[in-house]
Structure 1
Amino acid sequence: MSTAATGALSPEVALAMIGVIGVGAQWLAWRLRMPAIVLMLVAGLIVGPVTGLMVPSRDIGAIVEPMISIAVAIILFEGGLTLNLHRLRDAADGVKRLVIVGAPVGWFLSAAALYFVAGLDWAAAIVFGGIMIVTGPTVIAPLLRSARLSRRPAMMLQWEAIVNDPLGAMAAVLAFSFVVEFRQGLDFDGSLIRLALAFVLAGAVGWLAGWLVVQAFRRALVPEYMKVPVLFVAVLAIFVLTDFITHESGLLAVTMMGLVIANSDLPSFIELRRFKEHATILLVSGVFILLAASMDLGSLQLLGWQGIAFLLVVIFVVRPATVLLSLLGTAIPFREQLLVGLTGPRGVVLVAVAGLFGERLVGIGVEDGHRIVPLAFALVATTVILHGFTLAPLARALGLASTDTPGLLIVGGSRFSTALGKLCQSIEVPVMVTDRNFYRLREARKAGLPNYYGDVLSEGAEVGVDLMNYGMVLAGSENDPYNTLVATDLAPEFGRDNVFQFQREKEHLARHALPATLGGRSFGRGAGFVDMDRLMVEGWELRATRLSEEFTLENWREMHPEGFLIGRVENGRMRLMRDDAEFTPAPGVQLIAMVPPEPEAGAGDVG
């Protein structure tokens, strides 16, 4: 309950506000197609320093720092879960250079900018410089999807963000531990030796914990419904235990633990990682709102010209120099290097880790530690807004953006898949047909359609199929369970409304019904694979018909009474749909439909 005399909120109300504001800001950003991080920053500042409605140090008190510490630990554990070393080995040489060379170079140059331009103390500079390695995978992914870059620069930016996410936090742990040892009076060599021992111990504990979790899961010592709770408890226990044994090493231990689990080929790994991603969204939202609400507006004003100069140097000097030095001598064209170098949005992980170490630096007497969080917020807001508006135009100017409309990915080769692919090509919608059976792709290959032989859910497909060029998925194989698996697995990537599948056999029966969270949306008349294949054998055709003022949807239905819609093209974007779906049949919309053989000729038919 609220305390009227002081205006303070009870801890329960404050925590509820943090959750509602954080998740609400992310939902609103999704509706408005804006970067969520910007709305979260604005919301946090409004409820915090602007209005004073919520002051975390007053309303939540002593648990603020432990909350941030635990949240950062779980976020970094989830970051470790994304580091599949098999995929990294298969990644392009440019990605490896950006990680192996770019991380230390970026750390050094960022620390130099913080020390010489922003005027930070050397201790704060090397700690925050390590954190600045992070480029924000949760931020870069939507930017890449909207800008639709060419494959190689998009892959470099995406992989760099994924791998450097936990590396930046580990660099901060390394730098902070060195600062602590050095300020305790040890010489340089002594500090490095103790630091190396602490890191070896933390890495060993994290590896052992990850191995034990893998063995317990693999030998069915933990029931399926308890795997996620056990994983959470294990992460918290290892973080606290390692921190107790060796101060500030818990973050390294949980990151190593995630790395071990990610490379163990657990059957339930995808489900574990997906749940962790959902938990990370909640934690990231909470930490971001918490830190923004804790901000002192006076500290933002203190940034002054030094802060502005620092932002300019980081964006236009440090980041490009890091990328160009990392990719020096590679076969990657200069324009691609330049695009990557001028694209470095920072995300919420940077703010979360900066908030944690900023407080700890102040705690050991480094006064400039309180300047880290304002600088982190300024860097995140500036880079997200700047790259959000400039990435697509810059890519087009450099000739590295796809000018095609978002395409259709068809999983499953068949007569219908080939016909739909040919129709997509005729109306200039990118299309690709994939199948695990080489023979079923024969017709698609004969028709000259782009195709991929392999499982679209495999690791190889991440290299062979450029998912960013496609806005929709049709799971259209003859295997109903596989279609459901594909639709369920790709729904988080494309959005559930953009993933469709053939209707399953006996789907209308209650005993065969699936939960709404599984599978994709049906289309057309809800036809299954067998139905569509039979219609194709009988001579039915796929046709695209453009509506006009004179030729309306009603006219089309009169002309093709037996035909049924499976989609439409509107404003240059294709959309699959059910025959009975409601939409506004405006002039210029192209209807995509199945029609019987030898339909009566009509105005507007183009296919």
Structure 2
Amino acid sequence: MDHAILTLEHFIFVTALLLITGVLTTKISTKLGVPALILFIAVGMLSGSEGIGLIYFDNAQLTQVIGIIALVIILFEGGLQTKFSTVRSVAKPALSLATLGVLITTAIVAIAAKLILDVDWLVAFLFGSIVGSTDAAAVFSVLKGQNIKEKLGATLEVESGTNDPMAVFLTISFIQLLTTDHSSYLLLVGSFFWQMGIGLAIGYLFGKTGVYAINRVNLESSGLYPVLAVSFALLAYSITDFLNASGLLAVYLAAMIIGNAELTYRHSIVKFNEGFAWIMQILMFVILGLLVFPSQLFTFDIIWKGLLLAIILILVARPIAVFLSIIKMKFNWKEKIFLSWAGLRGAVPIVLATFPLIAGVEDSQLIFNIVFFVVLTSTLLQGSTISLFAKLLQLTGPKKVDPPHSLELVSIGKANAEIIEHEVNESSTINGYMIKDIDFPNDVLINAIIRNNDLITPQGDTKIQHGDVLYILVSKRRKGQLNDLLNS
């Protein structure tokens, strides 16, 4: 009993220590210009048995489970903040990169892996599949706060959010071909369309169901709405995966549908999932760092092979995939070069590298170590220079500045009312009108106006201006009428 208590205390202590260290490393990463996820991995490696010996960890199966759950949360948070208008503007190039781009990258890297690693062709293509896709966790983390042109940032984010299914499909397919005597190529092709189709269908279903439930269910506290929202993400993944379809695609689509809808307690939902995504990102990369043993990773054989494959992936495979995938699309050569350089690898390839380990595929440990080294090289080299590349290629937009004002709302669901935030644009129907002249529905009251970072107390003769941020108290039954007025 005492041993169990001590083990539990040790686990809680280590978890708290790793989270605190992870949070603090984000400050260091900003100053050093190094992606935070690299430092999270370093924390894991240093905490392992070959570091300070804080914890011994070699469970690939548990790593896979934690990694997938973390990816679900990270994709859900990214999808919540992805606007449909943005997706529509970059859908064609992003989806082309997420499908054709992954196939081209996989093929080129597989040929290189065959020559450099001296493995069977199926093993080489398995390696190419694992590193074939960009990583949502890495891309979302590195691009957040950067002032890269909106079109390029959106293309990279949508690509990374939708290309995981292709990489997962290819990885599982090649594992089946390596471990099963009677695998059919025709069945594998059919499986791809099944995974994509069912993933999209379930994602749409749970997105719409989630919006309905969040807006209709009257909960006791606003703090329960974020929990309800993320529950639909986990449910969408689990049911889709149970049907052998793409759970990650379902989660991303469901998140976009929920994030683009008119939501009760949107502020609470978005902020909760932002914090939750950070927690899972820290835990995932720390655990991935724990899983690798530096004595096996940093050998001369792994270093030169991994470095050569990383260079081929970054400077050959990715650029060819980008230029061929978005040919005749509206991107100039500078933008194509930037998209080529910004194809970050991260958690997804490392998590996928645990699949052959668990399946007992020949050379699986070699694959894992090489993949890990390639990811480290990609993230460190590309992730730390994305902003510099954007500046050199003159692809930066206006500097992104988070508004200094914030409003934390703690509401009781039974109150049947909420405060919404609305930013007035030039085309808004209320722009230029005094408050007393606006035909607001009953049970609507403007509580505060933020103008040029100053708080304005609203009066009847206060004129609404472009750029004003309004905080409006509205009863739930009048919310639809208010939205119609504000968005007409």
Fold-level match, TM-score > 0.5? Answer: yes
Task: Sort the Cα spacing of 1:355 and 1:323 in 2 relative to 1 into closer, same or farther, 3 A.
Answer: closer
Task: Sort the Cα spacing of 1:369 and 1:222 in 2 relative to 1 into closer, same or farther, 3 A.
Answer: farther
Provide the residue aligned with 1:361 in structure 2. 356
**1:438-485 CA distance string (max 9 Å, x none):** 99999xxxxxxxxxxxxxxxxxxxxxxxxxxxxxxxxxxxx983428x
Determine if the alignment matches structure 1 residue 483 to structure 2 residue 481.
no
Provide the residue aligned with 1:137 in structure 2. 139
Q: Tell me, in whole angstroms, the C-alpha distance in 2 between the residues paired with 1:142 and 1:113.
A: 33
Task: Sort the Cα spacing of 1:249 and 1:180 in 2 relative to 1 into closer, same or farther, 3 A.
Answer: farther
Write the letter of the residue equivalent to 1:436.
E
Q: 1:502 aligns with which of 447, 454, 472?
A: 454
Residues 152 and 335 in structure 2, CA contact (< 8 A), matched pair in contact too: no
* CA positional deviation for 1:207: 3.2
* CA positional deviation for 1:290: 0.8
Provide the residue aligned with 2:45 in structure 1. 45
Normalised by the length of structure 1, the TM-score is 0.58
Provide the residue aligned with 1:321 in structure 2. 320
Provide the residue aligned with 1:488 in structure 2. none
**1:80-103 CA distance string (max 9 Å, x none):** 434543322234976676556545
Provide the residue aligned with 1:188 in structure 2. 185
Residues 129 and 170 in structure 2, CA contact (< 8 A), matched pair in contact too: yes
* CA positional deviation for 1:222: 4.8
What are structure 2's unaligned runs of at least 5 residues?
Answer: 405-423, 433-445, 459-469, 472-488
Write the letter of the residue equivalent to 2:426.
R
Question: After alignment, is 268-277 or 95-104 more displaced?
Answer: 95-104
Equivalent residues in 2 for 1:100-249, closer than 5 Å: 102-117=101-116, 121-122=123-124, 124-132=126-134, 136-141=138-143, 144-145=146-147, 154-179=149-174, 181-182=176-177, 183-184=179-180, 185-194=182-191, 196-197=193-194, 199-222=196-219, 224-243=222-241, 245-247=242-244, 249=246
Provide the residue aligned with 2:288 in structure 1. 291
Aligned Cα root-mean-square deviation (Å):
4.3
Q: Tell me, in whole angstroms, the C-alpha distance in 2 between the residues paired with 1:11 and 1:282.
A: 16
* CA positional deviation for 1:260: 3.5
Provide the residue aligned with 1:545 in structure 2. none
Q: Report the secondary structure of 1:483's partner residue.
A: strand
Greater relative contact order (Cα < 8 A, sep 6+): 2
Q: Tell me, in whole angstroms, the C-alpha distance in 2 between the residues paired with 1:78 and 1:168.
A: 17
Q: Tell me, in whole angstroms, the C-alpha distance in 2 between the residues paired with 1:7 and 1:212.
A: 41
Task: Sort the Cα spacing of 1:263 and 1:375 in 2 relative to 1 into closer, same or farther, 3 A.
Answer: farther
Q: Tell me, in whole angstroms, the C-alpha distance in 2 between the residues paired with 1:47 and 1:376.
A: 21
Provide the residue aligned with 1:12 in structure 2. 12
Write the letter of the residue equivalent to 2:65.
P
Q: Tell me, in whole angstroms, the C-alpha distance in 2 between the residues paired with 1:242 and 1:395.
A: 38
Equivalent residues in 2 for 1:20-39, closer than 5 Å: 20-30=20-30, 34-39=34-39
Residues 81 and 262 in structure 1, CA contact (< 8 A), matched pair in contact too: yes
Provide the residue aligned with 1:335 in structure 2. 334
**1:292-334 CA distance string (max 9 Å, x none):** 0221123312423221111111121122222222343345432
Equivalent residues in 2 for 1:349-428, closer than 5 Å: 350-351=346-347, 353-387=348-382, 390-391=385-386, 394=389, 397-398=392-393
Task: Sort the Cα spacing of 1:83 and 1:116 in 2 relative to 1 into closer, same or farther, 3 A.
Answer: farther
Residues 45 and 293 in structure 2, CA contact (< 8 A), matched pair in contact too: no
Question: After alignment, is 91-100 or 8-17 more displaced?
Answer: 91-100
Q: Report the secondary structure of 2:214's partner residue.
A: helix
Provide the residue aligned with 1:528 in structure 2. none
Q: Tell me, in whole angstroms, the C-alpha distance in 1 between the residues paired with 2:383 and 2:61.
A: 37
Q: Tell me, in whole angstroms, the C-alpha distance in 2 between the residues paired with 1:169 and 1:322.
A: 16
What are structure 1's unaligned runs of at least 5 residues?
Answer: 412-433, 443-478, 485-499, 507-517, 520-607
Residues 43 and 289 in structure 1, CA contact (< 8 A), matched pair in contact too: yes
* CA positional deviation for 1:110: 4.2
* Between structures 1 and 2, the one with greater helix share: 2
Write the letter of the residue equivalent to 2:155.
E
* CA positional deviation for 1:215: 1.6
Residues 124 and 368 in structure 1, CA contact (< 8 A), matched pair in contact too: no
Residues 29 and 39 in structure 1, CA contact (< 8 A), matched pair in contact too: yes
Write the letter of the residue equivalent to 1:483.
I
Write the letter of the residue equivalent to 1:501.
N
Q: Tell me, in whole angstroms, the C-alpha distance in 2 between the residues paired with 1:290 and 1:314.
A: 25
Q: Tell me, in whole angstroms, the C-alpha distance in 1 between the residues paired with 2:57 and 2:266.
A: 38
Q: Report the secondary structure of 1:131's partner residue.
A: coil
Q: Tell me, in whole angstroms, the C-alpha distance in 2 between the residues paired with 1:219 and 1:20.
A: 37
Write the letter of the residue equivalent to 1:324.
F
Aligned residues: 418
Q: Tell me, in whole angstroms, the C-alpha distance in 1 between the residues paired with 2:206 and 2:429.
A: 46
Provide the residue aligned with 1:591 in structure 2. none
Q: Tell me, in whole angstroms, the C-alpha distance in 2 between the residues paired with 1:354 and 1:22.
A: 21
Normalised by the length of structure 2, the TM-score is 0.70
Residues 209 and 257 in structure 1, CA contact (< 8 A), matched pair in contact too: yes
Residues 123 and 179 in structure 1, CA contact (< 8 A), matched pair in contact too: yes
Task: Sort the Cα spacing of 1:328 and 1:138 in 2 relative to 1 into closer, same or farther, 3 A.
Answer: same
* CA positional deviation for 1:22: 2.0
**1:563-606 CA distance string (max 9 Å, x none):** xxxxxxxxxxxxxxxxxxxxxxxxxxxxxxxxxxxxxxxxxxxx
Task: Sort the Cα spacing of 1:441 and 1:394 in 2 relative to 1 into closer, same or farther, 3 A.
Answer: same
Q: Tell me, in whole angstroms, the C-alpha distance in 1 between the residues paired with 2:196 and 2:74.
A: 19
Provide the residue aligned with 1:559 in structure 2. none
Percent identity between matched residues is 20
Q: Tell me, in whole angstroms, the C-alpha distance in 1 between the residues paired with 2:186 and 2:427.
A: 60
Residues 88 and 96 in structure 1, CA contact (< 8 A), matched pair in contact too: no
Q: Tell me, in whole angstroms, the C-alpha distance in 1 between the residues paired with 2:394 and 2:249.
A: 41
